[in-house]
Amino acid sequence: SQTIHQWPATLVQPVGSPLSLECTVEGTSNPNLYWYRQAAGRGLQLLFYSVGIGQISSEVPQNLSASRPQDRQFILSSKKLLLSDSGFYLCAWRDKQGRQPQHFGDGTRLSIL
Amino acid sequence: GENVEQHPSTLSVQEGDSAVIKCTYSDSASNYFPWYKQELGKGPQLIIDIRSNVGEKKDQRIAVTLNKTAKHFSLHITETQPEDSAVYFCAAGVYNYGQNFVFGPGTRLSVLP
């Protein structure tokens, strides 16, 4: 069966520091991968999605970037964090053939001080 | 593009009562409508979904109805229990090819004992 892993689960970072959040999927190949941000008490904002290695689409301009160095690995990064980057970050995957709905990881809670 | 609205934003019910959450969508091409439940500190989990070729689907205490003409769909939870307390998200999109779904802003359901 397929599983999705995100880490770390929680992270506290100072303003101006770099960021790297990692997401990996197991049990499937060539999935579509997604990064969402959820502000406190708010809905899901799609940040990036990827249909393949090295292919990244950005949905909103921001201080963050994403990369997909391997088929089942998706990384969210920032060179310099802002206070507004605080939130709950969720990774998700779907198979391209539409055989399954979208599945989410358990998220990373990022607090910027 | 697709736009999904969701109401109410918060909902409180007594244990044993029913809860109804409603969503509307804008893109008539959307043919798949999943519902996710998000518990505190966790990623959203799929609880039920419906495709546009059916008008209703039921899974134990949870049911979803779809009105394609009016472009709205609803989640019904009967005999609510305290463990149903969570944030619920609806989504709409095209099921094939792993395309991204558009999510509603969420409904915080509280089931009072």
Give B20's pLDDT tier (boundaries 50, 70, 90).
very high
* Cα B68 to Cα B88: distance, rounded to the nearest angstrom: 21
Question: In terms of Cα–Cα distance, which of A34, A29, A18, A37 is closest to A74?
Answer: A34
Q: Enumerate the β-bridge partners of residue A112.
A: A13
Partner-chain contact B89 A103, CB within 8 Å:
no
Rounded CA gap, A62 and A48, in Å? 11
| A43 touching chain B per CB within 8 A | yes
Residues in B lying within 8 Å of A, measured between beta carbons: 32, 34, 36, 41-46, 49, 89, 91, 95-101, 103-106, 108
Higher-confidence residue: B18 or A49? Answer: B18
Name the residue in chain B with its Cα closest to that of A52. Answer: B98
Tell me the average pLDDT across A3-13. Answer: 95
Query: Can you tell me whether residue B9 is helix, strand or coil?
Result: coil
- Residue A11 and residue A13: Cα distance in Å, rounded? 6
What number of C-beta contacts closer than 8 Å exist between A and B?
58
Residues of A in contact with B30 (CB under 8 A): none
Q: How far apart are CA A62 and CA B14, in angstroms?
A: 42
Closest-CA distance of chain B to residue A99, Å: 8
A51 in contact with B, Cβ within 8 Å: yes
Chain B residue nearest residue A35, CA to CA: B100
In 3D, which of B20, B9, B27 has the Cα closest to residue B102? Answer: B27
Spatial distance between the Cα atoms of A69 and A90, rounded to a whole number of angstroms:
18
Q: What is the mean pLDDT of residues B28-54?
A: 92
Is-contact A81 A63, C-beta < 8 A? Answer: yes
With 80 as the cut, is the pLDDT of residue A23 above it? Answer: yes
- Ramachandran angles phi, psi of B97, nearest 5°: 65, 20
Task: Inspect the interface and report whether the beta carbons of A46 and B108 lie closer than 8 Å.
Answer: no
Q: Which of B98, B105, B106 sits opposite A96 (nearest CB)?
A: B98
Q: How does the average pLDDT of chain B come out, rounded?
A: 93
Nearest to B90 by CA among B21, B11, B20: B21
And the tokens for B44?
A: 């959203």
Q: Is the per-residue pLDDT at B98 higher than 70? A: no
Average pLDDT over residues B34-45: 93
| Closest by Cβ to B43, choosing from A32, A98, A104 | A104
Interface contact A90-B43, CB threshold 8 A? yes
Q: How far apart are CA A76 and CA B9, in angstroms?
A: 29
What gap in Å lies between CA B1 and CA B12, rounded to an integer?
A: 32
Three-state DSSP at A46 gives strand
Query: What DSSP letter does each residue of A81-111 carry, written as one string?
Result: --GGG-EEEEEEEE-TTS-S--EE---EEEE
